[in-house]
């Protein structure tokens, strides 16, 4: 009986991973984030996030820019947390002419987690990697598997 359960689970996982099924279920699972998810799944794109925090001082707001490693949504499909790699921190000043980015001289942060309690706003940008870079990563992955 246990064997039947294991085989059924393996078959179900295999079916769900097929594009014919995941293509229909991904929009339900990822909602508004689905276009970015699909771009990353193709393997030639990554997502950069610009996170405006709720931390401010003297009219300047702390913000971060980095490559998205993980992004979690809550039940309302609002961002619950974002984990960024290679993070650049900067300040934002809101003026009559709009937003002004003030870069600060600092060493990039290797990894940063920002939760909903600290997030004021997030902008996501899907960036397509150059074909030569995609090929180089594919070759590195193949060499590691060998």
What local confidence, expressed as pLDDT, does residue 63 receive? 96
> Can you tell me the distance from the alpha carbon of 130 to that of 26, in angstroms, rounded to the nearest whole number?
26
> Can you tell me the distance from the alpha carbon of 144 to that of 77, in angstroms, rounded to the nearest whole number?
37
> Can you tell me the distance from the alpha carbon of 29 to that of 49, in angstroms, rounded to the nearest whole number?
20
pLDDT tens-digit profile of 93-135? 988 888 889 988 889 999 999 999 999 999 999 998 877 776 7
The HSE-up count of residue 60 (CA atoms within 13 Å, CB side) is: 11
The confidence band for 30, taking pLDDT boundaries of 50, 70 and 90, is low
> Can you tell me the distance from the alpha carbon of 90 to that of 103, in angstroms, rounded to the nearest whole number?
5
Give phi and psi for 47, each to the nearest 5.
-115, 130
Does the pTM exceed 0.75?
A: no
Percent of the chain with pLDDT over 70: 79
* Residue where the block lists tokens 């689905």: 34
């Amino acid at each position: 009986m246990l064997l039947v359960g294991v085989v059924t689970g393996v078959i179900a996982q295999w079916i769900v991973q097929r594009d014919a099924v995941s293509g229909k279920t991904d929009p339900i699972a990822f909602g508004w984030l689905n276009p970015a998810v699909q771009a990353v799944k193709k393997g030639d794109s990554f997502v950069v996030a610009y996170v405006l925090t709720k931390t401010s001082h003297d009219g300047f707001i702390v913000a971060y820019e980095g490559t998205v490693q993980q992004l979690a949504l809550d039940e309302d499909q609002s961002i619950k947390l974002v984990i960024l790699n290679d993070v650049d921190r900067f300040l934002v000043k809101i003026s009559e002419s709009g937003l002004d980015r003030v870069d600060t001289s600092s060493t990039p942060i290797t990894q940063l987690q920002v939760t909903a309690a600290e997030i004021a706003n997030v902008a996501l940008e899907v960036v397509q990697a150059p074909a030569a870079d995609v090929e180089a990563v594919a070759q590195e992955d193949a060499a590691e598997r060998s």
